[in-house]
């Protein structure tokens, strides 16, 4: 019988994580799972707990929270694997605001449906990215994507909002960022063998599909195809940014003259003029960096997903 280690971030979703604990315990008990539930107490605690759970021989390590919690759990599992240990299967239950990682890999948004997917045991082997630079010269792993520039500042602004949650917070943050972060830095982007040098308002390097709870930076991205999908936005006017936002919400930005879409396995981004605020899965990598290196590691971990995600994988012959 599988043993589950469940890591809950009680402050995720501005307290939604703590409120979800009784429901999670009730549902997992009803489904007959052998589980241990632990609450995080500080930043990076989920990574430490996940790594220890791997060492202690748990079969499945479950993140209960949002993208930040999932990112920490992913990092803990990858650290355990890098140290030569056994990497447990990862699970995720959505509690936070964005849940973009869960969306990209095929984890249900509904909490009860997510619990059922843990029992069904449908595993999807996914790629994992690693970004080096800024506050993480040794590297930090990510499951969904790295954002550089405009969308990073949007995240900073969204976190300041106390009474607005989810996609609405990111939308308001985007509107505020138009006036705060307007001059695009001059960057040099090296994608495998291709070099792009231009002013870039944002550079999204995606393993998944979506950021900010509703902006489809890589509408056709797949987390198991061995490729990173880049979306690069050049300098546009403030009115131009407003015009682009609905396109990003629909995933139809490709073809716009200011947008470049590229696929690559390795990416290097250097600020020639200006700086690079950056995040990975919503977690700050740097507020004013100058150089970032991003690499995709193929088929690194297995994650429990919904029946629908498994069927979609079979149809696309990607799993």
Write out pLDDT tens, residues 127-168: 999 999 999 999 999 999 999 999 898 888 887 877 777 788
Domain ranges for the chain, please list them.
3-126+300-316, 131-298
Pick the CATH number of 3-126+300-316 from 3.40.50.10330, 1.10.10.1100, 3.30.565.10, 3.30.1330.10: 3.40.50.10330
> How far is the C-alpha of 17 from the C-alpha of 125, rounded, in Å?
27
CATH architecture of residue range(s) 131-298 = Sandwich (2.60)
Look at residue 314 and tell me whether its pLDDT is greater than 80. Answer: no
For 229, residues 6+ apart whose C-beta sits below 8 A from its C-beta are 205, 206, 207, 217, 218, 220, 221, 261, 262, 263
- Cα separation of 76 and 73, whole Å? 5
How sure is the predictor about 311, in pLDDT bands with cuts at 50, 70 and 90? low
Q: Are 304 and 90 in contact (CB under 8 A)?
A: yes
Which pLDDT belongs to residue 173? 86
pLDDT of residue 69: 96
Among the listed residues 129, 97, 115, the one whose alpha carbon sits nearest the alpha carbon of residue 37: 115
Q: What is the mean pLDDT of residues 108-113?
A: 95
Enter the tokens of residue 24: 């999670």
Rounded Cα distance, 165 and 167, in Å: 7
Model confidence pLDDT, tens digit, residues 176-231? 888 777 788 999 999 998 999 999 999 999 999 999 889 999 999 999 999 999 99
pLDDT at 307 over 70: yes
pLDDT > 70 fraction of the chain, expressed in percent and rounded:
96
Nearest CA-CA partner of 280 in 128, 160, 147, 108: 147
Confidence of residue 313 (pLDDT cuts 50, 70, 90): low
How high does pLDDT run on average in the chain? 92
Q: What is the pLDDT of residue 48?
A: 98
Q: Which tens digits make up the pLDDT trace of 44-96? A: 999 999 999 999 999 999 999 999 999 999 999 999 999 998 899 999 999 97
Residue (of 110, 131, 113, 130) closest to 122 by Cα position? 113
Q: Is the pLDDT of residue 276 over 90?
A: yes
Whole-model pTM: value is 0.93
Q: How confident is the model at residue 98 (pLDDT cuts 50, 70, 90)?
A: confident
Q: What is the pLDDT of residue 186?
A: 96
Does residue 319 surpass a pLDDT of 50? no
Range list of H helices, the chain: 16-30, 45-55, 67-82, 100-105, 111-120, 150-160, 166-180, 238-250, 307-316
Confidence bin at 232 (pLDDT 50/70/90): very high
Residue 25: the pLDDT is 97
């Amino acid at each position: 019988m599988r043993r589950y280690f469940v890591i809950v971030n009680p402050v995720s979703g501005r307290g939604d994580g703590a409120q979800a604990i009784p429901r999670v315990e009730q549902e997992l008990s009803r489904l007959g799972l052998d589980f241990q539930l632990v609450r995080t107490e500080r930043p990076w605690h989920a990574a430490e707990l996940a790594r220890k759970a791997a060492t202690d021989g748990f079969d499945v390590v479950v993140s209960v929270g949002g993208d930040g919690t999932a990112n920490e759990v992913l990092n803990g599992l990858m650290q355990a694997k890098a140290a030569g240990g056994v990497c447990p299967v990862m699970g995720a239950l959505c509690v936070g605001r964005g849940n973009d990682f869960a969306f990209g890999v095929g984890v249900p948004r509904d909490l009860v449906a997510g619990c059922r997917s843990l029992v069904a045991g449908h595993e999807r082997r996914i790629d994992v990215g690693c970004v080096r630079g800024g506050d993480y010269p040794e590297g930090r792993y990510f499951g969904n994507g790295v954002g550089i520039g405009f969308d990073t500042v949007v995240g900073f602004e969204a976190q300041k909002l106390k009474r607005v949650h989810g996609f609405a917070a990111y939308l308001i943050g985007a509107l505020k960022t138009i006036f705060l972060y307007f001059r695009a830095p001059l960057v040099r982007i090296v994608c495998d063998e291709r070099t792009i040098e231009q002013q870039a308002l944002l550079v999204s390097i995606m393993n998944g599909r979506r950021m900010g709870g509703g902006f489809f930076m890589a509408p056709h991205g797949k987390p198991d195809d061995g490729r990173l999908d880049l979306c690069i936005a050049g300098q546009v006017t403030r009115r131009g940014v407003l015009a682009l936002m609905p396109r990003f919400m629909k995933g139809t930005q490709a073809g716009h003259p200011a947008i470049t879409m590229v696929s690559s396995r390795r990416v290097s981004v250097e600020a020639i003029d200006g700086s690079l605020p950056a995040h990975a899965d919503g977690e700050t990598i740097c507020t004013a960096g100058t150089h970032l290196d991003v690499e995709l590691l193929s088929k690194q971990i297995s994650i429990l997903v919904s029946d629908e995600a498994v069927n979609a994988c079979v149809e696309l012959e990607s799993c």
